Chains A and B, each alone.
Chain A
Amino acid sequence: MNADHVYAIAMKDMKEAFSSISIYGPMLGIPLFFAVVLPVFTVYISSYGGAAIAARLFGTAVAVPAGIGKNLLFIKFFAINILGPIFLTMPIITASVIAADSFSGEKERKTAESLFVTPATNIELLMGKILASLIPAFLLTVVVFVLYAGITNYFTIAKFGAALFPNTSWYMMLVNAPFLALTTIGTVVLVSARVRGVKESQQISALLVLPILIIPFVSVFTVTSLSFMFLLYMLIFLLATSALVLYLSIRFFDRERFI
């Protein structure tokens, strides 16, 4: 494998992605919403209705630690168990936007024919394009995690007497993030060959957020919590899934379908 080819393809794709507002717009807008609006919203809600919501969520049987009101309990629960899984959609959304443009975009804009006549091999093409989607998706996720944690801590540290973030669950979610992105990218590669354009590719791959959105619900209904073990099982599952999806995407990569 020629590393220069991989690097050239990855750099070209990233340059393209960040030169088009249709790509970087949603990529930056959604993370900013997650990182800034949601923590402010959480603190605001908790200040005015957190106790009532917490009472509804936990009932009166839940033992509240001494010195911590129900509104604070709500902040903690909401910030970790509800927003946590929502943050896990970040690598999926950003990876799907870039990967769809990278793969289906070549097909839609008919640039694949000039790329595919070059000496770049299938593995080089795929590696370059996967990196071009994975690197920004992961970096954006980290930035959003840091921003979110910083803003939430800023508003709550006085109330809790300690920082809410980072904690083990969030570290584990961060470890899960690249594998979510890889699973998404692999799915985009598989889908791109079979759809006409970027939009279809994005829409289908964005369906991957649905299983993630179930997590807050099962968390609310106390089926599970975002414990270290839960996130470790999730990581093992994602490792296997991303490996399988990437294997299939390479195995069934058919250049002719992109022409």
Chain B
Amino acid sequence: MYGDVVRALSVSKYFGSTKALSSISLRVKKGEFVLLLGPNGAGKSTLLKLVAGLYRPTSGRIFVLGSELHNNFGTKEAEIRKRISFAGENYALYDHITVMDNLLFFAKLYDIPDPSERINALLGDFGIEDLKHRRVEELSRGTKQKVAICRALLNDSDILLLDEPSAFLDPAASELLRAKLERLVREGKSIIYATQRIDELFNFKSNILLISRGRIKMKGSANSILSSIRNVDVEITTLNSVDAGAIKGNWTLKKSSGNSFVFQVKSVSTIPELISSIAASGGKILSVNYLKENIIEMMAD
């Protein structure tokens, strides 16, 4: 439909009387990276599952590669599903069988011929090839997450739906995933990536949808989303002691404990000025962190 690989039209989803999504519309083009950002319970996972055809919308329609995916589908929809991958927030692997058996099973369902080579390559990319004969139940949470990502990448799909894929990954694996996804987008794949981690805003060149309480609150770039958020709490830790209260500007000092200070800035664009001011007053800055809970709360407002 109009060249969109995913198109959701006024989609709402209720679970009983609980509203999970309210009249959401979404368009994803070929080769587009869409980042769904929002706190827990915002509706990100529900939206991804609707696109994946795991849920039916209560109202509205969703077209994926030009077709609606129903609950009881036939051959045509099976062909479309071959072109979709999904990695949910639960790693959703079979615990009692090995990593290799898990991946071979999914490869068979996606009709991938001679999948062993591809599986070995993917596992090798994430540094877990030597664990392929281990049962999934013996793996750490992070390793299970890597296997789940390998499964999602197995079928070389046109649409990749990822729900908090980096939640349990170590920094090296997160970086690898980021690089892989960027390459896939360059190859024309479309990706919808859900996260509640504010630090992932700048990881990808993406269109961002800010979701809260089942609605899309805002669309735009990382900068436009961040600059629209007011009164952000920022925690700054210094190596040496600083008279933080004496550093004046477009912010207020909310809390200080030793060399750790929590400032509330009027907008995110003020943060570089705050950092410069601390440095100018002799502070050697060790770390700067957004207080995530605070930002997520603001998103939910």
Which of A9, A120, A254 lies at the interface centre, i.e. has the most chain B CB atoms within 10 A of its CB? A120
Q: Which residues of A contact B94 (CB under 8 A)?
A: 12, 16, 109, 111
B78 contacts across to A, CB distance below 8 A: 119-121
Q: Give the most central of A12, A118, A254: most B CB within 10 Å.
A: A118
- Contact assessment for B96 and A117 in the assembled complex, using a CB-CB cutoff below 8 Å: no
Establish whether residues B71 and A254, one from each chain, have CB atoms under 8 Å apart when the complex forms.
yes
A16 touches B96 (CB 8 A): yes
Task: Tell me if B85 counts as interface (CB < 8 A to partner A).
Answer: yes
Tell me if B110 and A15 are in contact (CB < 8 A). no
**B150 → chain A closest CB, angstroms:** 12
**CB of B95 within 8 Å of the partner chain:** yes
The reply to whether B97 and A118 form a contact with Cβ atoms under 8 Å apart is no
B299 within 8 A of A: no
- Are A255 and B96 neighbours in the complex by a CB distance under 8 Å? no
Q: Which range holds the interface residue count of chain A?
A: 20 to 34
Enumerate chain A residues within 8 angstroms of B135, measured Cβ to Cβ.
19
Residue of B105, B106, B148 ringed by the most chain A CB atoms within 10 A? B105
Q: How far is the CB of B172 from chain A (nearest CB, A)?
A: 25
Contact between B108 and A4, CB atoms less than 8 A apart: yes
Q: With A12-B105, A118-B81, A121-B78 given, is the CB distance from A113 to B92 under 8 Å?
A: yes
Q: Give the docked Cα–Cα distance between A27 and B163 (Å).
A: 37
Nearest-neighbour CB distance to chain A for B193, whole angstroms, equals 16
Q: Which residue of the partner chain B has the closest CB to A118?
A: B109
Query: With A19-B97, A116-B54, A118-B109 given, is the CB distance from A111 to B81 under 8 Å?
Result: no
Q: Determine if A114 and B88 form an interchain contact, defined as CB atoms under 8 angstroms apart.
A: yes
Query: Which residues of chain A have C-beta atoms less than 8 A from B71's C-beta?
Result: 254-256
Cβ distance B145 to chain A, nearest Cβ, rounded Å: 13
Residues of A within 8 A of B105 (CB): 8, 12
Residue of A with least CB distance to B95: A109
A20 within 8 Å of B (CB atoms)? yes
Chain B nearest CB, measured from A253 CB (Å): 7
Q: CB of B49 within 8 A of chain A?
A: yes
Decide: A114 near B74, CB < 8 A? Known: A119-B81, A256-B55.
no
Residue of B nearest to A20 (CB): B96
Contact yes or no, B56 A256, CB < 8 A = yes
Q: Which of B53, B74, B93, B109 contacts A111 (CB 8 A)?
A: B93
Mask, B104-123, CB within 8 Å of A = 1, is 01101111000000000000
Tell me if A119 and B53 are in contact (CB < 8 A). no
Known: A4-B111, A117-B86. 8 other contacts (CB 8 A): A8-B105, A15-B101, A20-B96, A113-B52, A117-B85, A118-B81, A254-B71, A255-B54
Residues of B within 8 A of A (CB): 49, 52-56, 71-75, 78-79, 81-82, 84-88, 90, 92-97, 101, 105-106, 108-111, 135, 148, 151
Interface residues of A (CB under 8 A from B): 2, 4-5, 8-9, 12, 15-16, 19-20, 109-122, 253-256, 259
